[in-house]
Amino acid sequence: MSHDSSQSPPDPPSRRPLIAFTWLWVGAPLAYGLYELVRKATQLFTG
Amino acid sequence: MSPPVAPPGWSRWLVPPAALSVHLSIGQAYAWSVFKPPLESALGLSGTQSALPFQLGIVMLGLSAAFGGTLVERHGPRWAMTVALVCFSSGFLLSALGAAVEQYWLIVLGYGFVGGIGLGIGYISPVSTLIKWFPDRPGMATGIAIMGFGGGALIASPWSAQMLKSFGTDSSGIALAFLVHGLAYAVFMLLGVLLVRVPRPRERADGGPAALEGVQVPARGAMRTPQFWLLWVVLCMNVTAGIGILEKAAPMITDFFADTSTPVSVTAAAGFVALLSAANMAGRIGWSSTSDLIGRKNIYRVYLGVGALMYALIAMFGDSSKPLFVLCALVVLSFYGGGFATVPAYLKDLFGTYQVGAIHGRLLTAWSTAGVLGPLIVNWIADRQEEAGKHGSALYGTSFVIMIGLLVVGFVANELVRPVHPRHHLPAAPARKEATDVPRQQPESA
């Protein structure tokens, strides 16, 4: 008796690497913007 | 272009980065001021003239969001993001050409008109899709995207300044900077176009698409309801109050403490403006997510009620305590951001997900109105007070009283919001084409 794989759908591929990449894509420039913002904001206390 | 449907196993956590790639790009609009001084010196423009591309861009944002919303609903988020990418990027490329040949009208047309269409379509492009993917946390989902619009200026401001420093501030340097902006934003936004997916339609037992659940009101019908116009007033008042501080933040804090033993320097005032931007961004994600827990009506009670209280505290005690002044201003600005980010979820609660993007686009005319109203009130009154010989915090007292009044009007409007009357609802027809819901299988969603 042969194994019939068509009876159960294949597992969907893992999206974790794609999720990590896409969040890094948007997160890196945002982190740069926040870093520059914090640098400027500290002037309120030191300027 | 038909809306791209998610394959089985697609994670909903891929949708916020798609939205962010668009919003972080178009948020550049608020960093336009970086280009103003170089343009003025290179092309011999006045301050009013150099502001034209930004002003036209904001007008086009409101118009294209209001009139393009139905198209966005019909063609889906990928179409909308593609239009946003093409318009926003072409706007920069046209501006590059304008700067290279020293034809300023091309910059106004490119950045303001063409780019402005990209701003409006891009702003509303992910809203409806995010709400459909996150029906359990719509406030958080739209908060992430709309926070991106605030974040866009934080990225663009130092980035553009650095680029102008490297390329030079003559017309060819500005042209090159515009060119790089156009190309870089096209690549960055492409991620959103490629990544965005709508949830798979939930199927009926006979295989056809299931009807949407709950209240569903089309965009045209929503405009005939008092709820839409009450929310319009709520958003307009909340934004006006925020802009009231944002518009004159630096001179305001300087004037408030000019006659004290601890005056505020120009550098410290710039730091205050940066802190306000941080509060604006934090409010977008923080308060909007909180609305998922305490409800939309309650969070607007906080924005408007506590906002009025903060203004009252600044007016009464602001000039006697710098920490109190800064804290109250930060809270008001966080409510300003929160108001923007929470309103799509409020619309979803009232009108359903059917055409929420289109309804949101039409509501954004309240933003355009507030954009004129807020600066007008604060600047006009401050000028009149100065002419009357007043100085320091006295320049702003009347403006603050008006802002408190506007917030109270918004508070009352929010109190009057009730569920939409059933006569405005769409009939629960199973043939409704746009019927979508969150897929049952979401292995990576949390």
pLDDT at B14: 95
**Per-residue model confidence as pLDDT tens digits over B231-282:** 999 999 999 998 878 877 888 888 888 888 888 888 888 888 888 988 999 9
Q: Alpha carbon A21 to chain centroid distance?
A: 5
Name the average pLDDT for chain B.
89
Residue of A nearest to B12 (CA): A19
Give the residue-averaged pLDDT of B141-151.
92
**pLDDT level of residue B314 (50, 70, 90 thresholds):** very high
Minimal C-alpha gap between A39 and chain B (Å) = 8
Length of chain B: 446
Contacting residues for B300 by C-beta, under 8 A, at least 6 apart: B234, B238, B339, B342, B346, B410, B414
What ipTM was assigned to the predicted interfaces of this complex?
A: 0.84
**Token pair listed for B187:** 């690549």
**Token pair listed for B312:** 């009252």
Dist. CA B158–CA B23, nearest whole Å: 17
| B219-424 matches B12-195 in CATH topology | yes
Location of structure tokens 């159960």: A8
Angle between helices B322-351 and B356-363 (to 10 degrees): 140
Q: Do A12 and B148 touch (CB under 8 A)?
A: no
* Architecture in CATH for domain B12-195: Up-down Bundle (1.20)
Asked whether the predicted pLDDT for residue B406 surpasses 50, the reply is: yes
DSSP characters for B315-330?
A: HHHGGG-HHHHHHHHH
Mutation site, B13, B30, B146, B155, interface A, largest A CB count within 10 A: B155
Q: Where are the beta strands (DSSP E) in B142-196?
A: none
Q: Which of B46-60, B290-304, B403-417 has the lowest mean pLDDT?
A: B46-60
Q: Which of B219-233, B266-280, B332-346, B411-425 has the lowest mean pLDDT?
A: B266-280
Q: Do A22 and B444 touch (CB under 8 A)?
A: no
DSSP characters for B84-116?
A: HHHHHHHHHHHHHHHHHTT-HHHHIIIIIIIHH
Dist. CA B362–CA B63, nearest whole Å: 8
CB B127 within 8 A of CB B145: yes
Adjacent-strand bridge partners of B203: B209
CB B17 within 8 A of CB B126: no
Q: Do A22 and B265 touch (CB under 8 A)?
A: no
Q: Where are the beta strands (DSSP E) in B46-184?
A: none
Q: Provide, rounded to the nearest whole percent, the portion of chain B with pLDDT above 70.
A: 93
**pLDDT level of residue B222 (50, 70, 90 thresholds):** very high
Residue of A nearest to B271 (CA): A41
Asked whether the predicted pLDDT for residue B203 surpasses 60, the reply is: no
pLDDT at B348: 94
Interface contact A22, partner B, CB < 8 A: yes
Q: Alpha carbon B445 to chain centroid distance?
A: 27
Residue B265 DSSP SS3: coil
Q: Do A36 and B157 touch (CB under 8 A)?
A: yes
pLDDT at B215: 84
- What residue spans define the domains of chain B? 12-195, 219-424
Minimal C-alpha gap between B97 and chain A (Å) = 27
Dist. CA B318–CA B48, nearest whole Å: 32
Torsion of CA B407, B131, A29, B158, to 10 degrees: -30
CB B277 within 8 A of CB A37: yes
Dist. CA B420–CA B223, nearest whole Å: 11
**Per-residue model confidence as pLDDT tens digits over B156-169:** 989 999 999 999 99
**Token pair listed for B148:** 């991106």
Phi, psi of B5 (to 5 degrees): -90, 140
Asked whether the predicted pLDDT for residue B435 surpasses 50, the reply is: no
Amino acid identity, position B367: W
* Architecture in CATH for domain B219-424: Up-down Bundle (1.20)
User: According to DSSP H, which parts of B295-321 are helical?
Assistant: 296-301, 307-317
Q: Do B441 and A30 touch (CB under 8 A)?
A: no
Q: Which of A14, A22, A30 sits opposite B155 (nearest CB)?
A: A30
pLDDT at B391: 82
Q: Do B14 and A22 touch (CB under 8 A)?
A: yes
Adjacent-strand bridge partners of B198: B5
pLDDT at A7: 58
Q: Do A11 and B9 touch (CB under 8 A)?
A: yes
Interface contact A18, partner B, CB < 8 A: yes
Residue B71, classified by CB atoms within 10 Å of its CB into exposed (0-12), middle (13-18) or buried (19+), is middle
Dist. CA B114–CA B88, nearest whole Å: 7
Q: Alpha carbon B146 to chain centroid distance?
A: 6
Asked whether the predicted pLDDT for residue B431 surpasses 60, the reply is: no
Dist. CA B337–CA B349, nearest whole Å: 20
Location of structure tokens 């870093």: A35
Q: Do A13 and B9 touch (CB under 8 A)?
A: yes
Residue environment code for B113-132, b if the CB has 16+ CB neighbours within 10 A, otherwise e: bbbbbbbbbbbbbbbbbbbb
Residue B42, classified by CB atoms within 10 Å of its CB into exposed (0-12), middle (13-18) or buried (19+), is buried
Dist. CA A39–CA B348, nearest whole Å: 38
Give the residue-averaged pLDDT of B399-406.
92
**Per-residue model confidence as pLDDT tens digits over A1-47:** 344 444 566 666 788 999 999 999 999 999 999 999 888 888 777 76
